[in-house]
Structures are given as C-alpha cells and as structure tokens.
Amino acid sequence: MKKTGAEIFLESLIKEGVDTIFGYPGGVVLPIYDALYKSPLRHILVRHEQGAVHMADGYARATGRPGVVLVTSGPGATNTVTGIATAYMDSVPVVVFTGQVPTTLIGNDAFQEADIVGITRPCTKHNFLVKDINDLTRIIKEAFYIATTGRPGPVLVDLPKDVLSAEAEFAYPEGVNIPGYQPTYKGHAGQITRAMELILTSKRPVIYAGGGVVSSNAAVELTQLARKLDIPVTTTLMGLGGFPGTDPLFMGMLGMHGTYAANMAVTNTDCLIAVGARFDDRVAGNIDEFAPYAKIIHIDIDPTSISKNVAVDIPIVGDVKSVLREFLKLPRAATGLKAFKKGVTDWHGQISEWRRTHTLTVKQDMKGRIKPQYVIERIYKITGGDAVISTEVGQNQMWTSQFFRFASPRTLLTSGGLGTMGYGFPAAIGAQVAFPDKTVIDIAGDGSIQMNIQEMATAVQEKLPVKVAILNNRFLGMVRQWQEFFYDKRYSYTCIGNRPDFVKLAEAYGAVGLRATKPSEVDGVIKKALKVKDRPVLMDFVVDAAENVYPMVPSGQPLSKMLLV
C-alpha cells in the first residue's frame, strides 16, 4: 500500500525509536501535522522554534538518545539556527526536520522560503534536502545514523511540501552505505601501549576529561582507570558528571573559572591525559603556556580535535569508551604499577595542599543579602545532588559548575561551546519530558531566563514540574563582572533593573512563582518548589548583585595567573 511522504516520515521516526517530537506547525508541514493527528508519537508544542531545538537538545543530553525537532519553512527554520549551533558546538545528537516550499518553487523567493540547508551548513554535522520521495527513508536513516555515531552532532533534513504529499511504498532501509563516513572507534593498539608506558613513567599525571566522556557513556571506565592508577582528575564544563564530583581524586573544573587546584595541577603536570576534550580557549587560557611541562596524550573520536590547538605527543583517535577499556586491560600486564603509585605520592600531597589553601567556599552572612553561590549550595544539599540541572550562560553557569557536585553523567545540561543564553530553561523542559519523575532544575540568571521565557507556556500546557531558580542580581552579571575588572567599572548597558516581577510572571502563565529575599527564606522556597509536581515553578532569588565568579583567569593569560578572592 502506498503512503504519503508525511506518513512515511512519521513511520520512519517510529522505526528509529523516536517517541517525542518537539515542534511548531506551519504552512508547508501541514501534511505532517495532519498525519500526526492520528499518530502515537508525542508532540510537544513549543512557543518558539529555538525552544524546540533546545528542548530536543536537553532531551538528548539527558537520555543519550537523539532529540527530534519538526518546524515549518522560512522563519520556522531560521529560528532553529541558534539551537542547532548550540548542539553542534557541544556535539549533541539532534535531528531537525524543516518544511520547505515545494521543489517547483525553490529558488523563487516563495512565501516563507529560506535556504535553510545553505544557512545551516556550517553549524550542522550534515544536512539534506529531500528532492524525491524515493530518497526520503534513506535520508532519514542516514540523518539519524550520522547524528548519533562518531562524534555526535545535529543533522538537518529539509522536506519540501510536494515530497510530503507525494506517495510511495514504505520500506525502511536496514542499514546505511555512506562511503565518506566511517568513524574510527577502536584506538591504535601501539599508541595505547605507548601512552600507558608514558603514564607509568610520569611523576605528576593529570587526567583532563571533557564532554566526550559523557557522550561516549564512558564515565564508568574513566572512574575505574583513575582509581586504578590513582591519577587526579579535572574536567571541563562539558565533562562535569563524567567523573564523580565527590570522589577524592576529583579536583574540580579547570580553565577560566576552574579551581585553583585543577589549574595548578594542569600547569605543573608532566603527563596530561586528555580524554574526549578539545583544549578550547576557555579551558587552556594562553595556549602557549598551557601545561608547559607535560607530555600530552589525547584520546578523541574526532581527528580534527587532535593537534588543533595544542601539539600532542601521543594522539589516539577512537571512541573514548572503547579506548579506555583497552587502557584498563593494560596495567595488569604492565610492570611498575606499584612503583608508579609510590612515585606519585608527593604529587598527591602537593594537590591536597593546593586544595586546602584554596577551597571554593560560600560565605553567607545570614543577616545579609543572599549570596548566589549559597542558593546553589542549598539546592545541592536539599536535593542531595539527585537532580538534572541545566544552566543558562554566565555567572549562574559558572557558580553551578563550582558548587553543584555532579555525581553522574547526563545530569548537567549546559551550553558550553556556543554559550547560548536562553538554553537552560527549554533544555530543562526537554529533560523533564524524558524523565517526568526526576527533579529537573534550571539555574538561571534574570537576564538569560528572559531569552526563552515563552516556553513557560509549553511547560504549563504539558504539566511539567520543571523548576527554575533565578539568581536575580538585576544585572547581566558576567558581562558586568568583566566591566568591573577590565573596563574600569563602566557598566555599559548591563543593568537590567526594570525586570518583570517574576512571581507575577509565573502566575500569569499558570505556573507557581516563589520569592526569597533573605538567606533564611532560601531553604523554604526550594523545599516548597520541590513539592510541586503538576506545573512549573519559578523561584526568584533576589541575590547580592556585587558577587563575582572566582577564581578567574583573565582572557589570554596562563592558567596559573588566577585572580583569587
């Protein structure tokens, strides 16, 4: 029996194991929406297409399964671009389906036409325009395959309206045949042995783990290896949760707002083991002075990440999980593990000393203003760390990375690469859709939350108990901090004092709004919010506007040049 392109599209999604679509209807995707009317697929109706992509992204990061987006042509498609670029920079598997004007009208400046394949070429892993209904299932299969394998990333598929209305037999392909795409999963055995030998002759080793550990589901292997060899671990922002934040070997995050211990350890290490990380400028500071004494081992599935920013001594291209498993097999055979462990005792002593002298602490005067860090610390304590946390971008994001100890992977959703304000709230919604019973909290600033606040309506409509904790300092705090440090306190356009009343705003949407203005009210607000199970809660924490994020490595400086409190 023949089916329409729209029906084939939905059947294909089911074949791919998709259960939820984040979308927004429009003219050219009407055939799909009509077929969706009687489909078992769940469709979350967003209020802005950017929100749909961030939701799918949050869903994907929290579950490890691809997030799916469906939007219309023209403005529907262009509104997805920030979401796609966000997913691209952080290697998140998202498949975005955009409607397109009929093939006969493409290039005619038709109503709601945009060359979205052209627009998203540099910010997708790959993208497709389906010109013939007979290519539809193959392209959908390839889109999901490309998005989820190798280094994951967003894929966009553009669907002209006439393709959606045309008819064909439905036959979903079993596999894919893409000659130009064969990711390397297995690491080179010789390189792995060489790397292990290097580690065992080092005296001051450090593991530097990134988002690749999370996306390759290798947290267990990384933890085993670090514990087996007794090597201290630091992670990037994207790597948080990839190693238990409570483990004695964990030094915290490194980089611009990394801990003193992590930055000093990386500066002084003689053997840096980079695992699924890419030496980004926020991590490395001044690249020429990054890990100056270290031999560097770099494990990454993406060959372009290797020796892009930093010259590497032992590159290993492969899937982090698979490579770490090979590493785990080696120490048994390798002699000198005992001697190695003995040799690194001084190094552990040094790290403990750095830790002891520069601990991240919250100094909350219970009679003073609420410290933003205190709010995060209380959220951590009250939830017992058992929550999926998303953040926006800026001070809220950095304080979260410092004061919430992520115990397991896929519990932190944050826009690390692109740094997208407005990401956290829809991402939290996406995670809550995937895990209706989990506690999901977006830690936000009063600036960022206003960038996608319209999704409150989505959360209310879907009865999602997602929580938002606004660290309300009446400023675009991180930019204000830079103005304070580097622009002689000229606070040019960073004061957003005439904000809305967030409690009333929440109530206007049909959500719960709560406010704390004194430190003594913080616990009560958090506990009250956690009790709400049938609608979103917006918590407005009116915090001290003068707080800054420390430590801070000024842009372009080496990691050892930290500004400390």
Among 30, 106, 110, 117, binds another protein (CB under 8 A): 117
Token code pair at residue 291: 């890990």
Residue 128 Cβ vs another protein, minimum distance, rounded to whole Å? 9
Q: Which is nearer to another protein, 14 or 311 (CB)?
A: 311
303 binds another protein per the rule CB under 8 A = yes
Q: Please tell me whether residue 298 adopts helix, strand or coil conformation.
A: strand
Q: Which stretch binds another protein (CB under 8 A): 302-310, 420-428, 444-452, 479-487?
A: 302-310
Question: What contacts 106, CB < 8 A, 6 or more positions away?
Answer: 100, 113, 160
Among 228, 308, 325, 528, binds another protein (CB under 8 A): 308
Among 107, 118, 190, 368, binds another protein (CB under 8 A): 118
Q: How many residues bind another protein (CB under 8 A)?
A: 19
Residue 317 Cβ vs another protein, minimum distance, rounded to whole Å? 10
Q: Which is nearer to another protein, 35 or 123 (CB)?
A: 123
- Which residue blocks in 16-135 are alpha helix, DSSP H? 30-36, 49-63, 75-78, 81-89, 116-120
Q: Which is nearer to another protein, 124 or 236 (CB)?
A: 124
What distances in angstroms separate CA 178 from CA 95, 122, 138, 139, one per listed residue?
A: 18, 20, 11, 11
Q: Which is nearer to another protein, 311 or 366 (CB)?
A: 311
- How far, in Å, CA of 298 to CA of 282, rounded? 18
Q: Is 49 a catalytic residue?
A: yes
Active-site residue (options: 478, 539, 552, 562): 478
Segment 133 to 152, residues that bind another protein, using CB under 8 A: 146
The CA-to-CA distance between both ends of the chain, in Å, stands at: 70
Burial class (CB in 10 A: 0-12, 13-18, 19+), 34: middle
Q: Which is nearer to another protein, 222 or 317 (CB)?
A: 317
175 binds another protein per the rule CB under 8 A = no
Q: Which is nearer to another protein, 143 or 522 (CB)?
A: 143
Q: Is 111 a catalytic residue?
A: yes
**CB 91, CB 152: distance < 8 Å:** yes
188 binds another protein per the rule CB under 8 A = no
Among 304, 335, 492, 498, binds another protein (CB under 8 A): 304
178 binds another protein per the rule CB under 8 A = yes
DSSP string, 22-51: EE---GGGHHHHHHHTT-SSEEEE-SSHHH
Q: Which is nearer to another protein, 147 or 207 (CB)?
A: 147
Query: Residue 396: which of 499, 472, 454 has the closest Cα?
Result: 472
Report the run of H or E that residue 163 belongs to, with start and end: helix 161-165
Active-site residue (options: 2, 111, 186, 329): 111
443 binds another protein per the rule CB under 8 A = no
92 binds another protein per the rule CB under 8 A = no
Q: Which stretch binds another protein (CB under 8 A): 105-113, 196-204, 307-315, 429-437?
A: 307-315
Among 42, 104, 107, 121, binds another protein (CB under 8 A): 121
Strands in 373-455 per DSSP E: 388-391, 412-413, 440-445
Residue 420 Cβ vs another protein, minimum distance, rounded to whole Å? 19
Among 96, 129, 291, 433, binds another protein (CB under 8 A): 129
Q: What residue has token string 């987006």?
A: 69
Cβ contacts of 396-401, under 8 Å, gap ≥ 24: 396/372, 396/424, 396/443, 396/444, 396/445, 396/448, 396/471, 396/477, 397/237, 397/443, 398/257, 398/478, 398/549, 399/372, 399/373, 399/443, 399/471, 399/549, 400/376, 400/443, 401/237, 401/240, 401/253, 401/257
Q: Please tell me whether residue 252 adopts helix, strand or coil conformation.
A: strand
Residue 304 Cβ vs another protein, minimum distance, rounded to whole Å? 4
Please identify every residue annotated as catalytic.
49, 111-112, 161, 478
User: For binding to another protein (CB under 8 A), which residues are involved?
Assistant: 117-118, 121-122, 125-126, 129, 146, 178-181, 302-304, 306-308, 311
